[in-house]
Chain A
């Protein structure tokens, strides 16, 4: 059974870079036709797609975050990662990783990790 687990610092200072990793277990991150995505949810608010990486390595980002986001894959560790630069308090949120099928539906989610941006 495929499982995803987010990890990374729970507190990031303003203007620094937020870095999170999603570890995939129970299956290969190199499986064809899947996307691996990041979604966030500010406290008390709705879901926002951050970006996704295709099994081929192609990346797709939310236009509103594109200038600050990098998503990458480490197949040797069965992980994919998120980097969000120049963070502000508005980036405080629960960050989820998820697997998408070829149509883009988020079938499997991690449990989420809370990241607070504060000095």
Chain B
């Protein structure tokens, strides 16, 4: 079973600052990693898939990078609506099993 570890658990930043969120896999997942944003009372929303591809409608300030075991979600300049919880997710090849990281809460400083 692949375990995803996200860091930090909580990140306190101000609007306009750059946010860097980390997701580390317990073994290589190649580029098979996605990132989701979840706001209170809402379903998660897919931001990034295949480690670096933005989903439709996601602003360019969101970018993903990494491969193997270490991945990063970067928000270049925080907007007020970006403060939320972010999860990474991977899928193992066979049998297909999906795993989420424990989440990083991005809060306003």
Contact = CB atoms under 8 A, between A and B. Distances in A.
Interface of A: 35, 37, 46-49, 52, 60, 62-63, 96, 98, 100, 103-107, 109-112
Interface stretch (B12-20, B44-52, B60-68, B73-81): B44-52
B32 A110 contact: no
Interface of B: 1, 32, 34, 36, 38, 42-46, 49-50, 55, 87, 89, 91, 95-103
A63 B100 contact: no
A63 B1 contact: yes
B96 A35 contact: yes
Nearest to B49: A105
A37 B89 CA distance: 14
Given A46-B87, A46-B103, A104 B44 contact: no
Nearest to B34: A105
Given A46-B103, A96-B43, A110-B43, A103 B98 contact: no
A47 B87 contact: yes
A108 to B, nearest CB: 8
B1 A111 contact: no
Contacts of B49: 103, 105, 107
From A49, A103, A104, A107, name the one whose CB has the most chain B CB atoms within 10 angstroms: A104
Contacts of A98: 43
Contacts of A47: 36, 38, 44, 87, 89, 100, 103
A35 to B, nearest CB: 7
Nearest to A108: B46
Contacts of A35: 96
From B44, B49, B91, B98, name the one whose CB has the most chain A CB atoms within 10 angstroms: B98
A99 to B, nearest CB: 11
Q: Which 10 A-B pairs have the closest CB atoms?
A: A104-B91, A49-B98, A109-B43, A47-B100, A105-B49, A60-B96, A105-B34, A46-B103, A46-B102, A112-B43
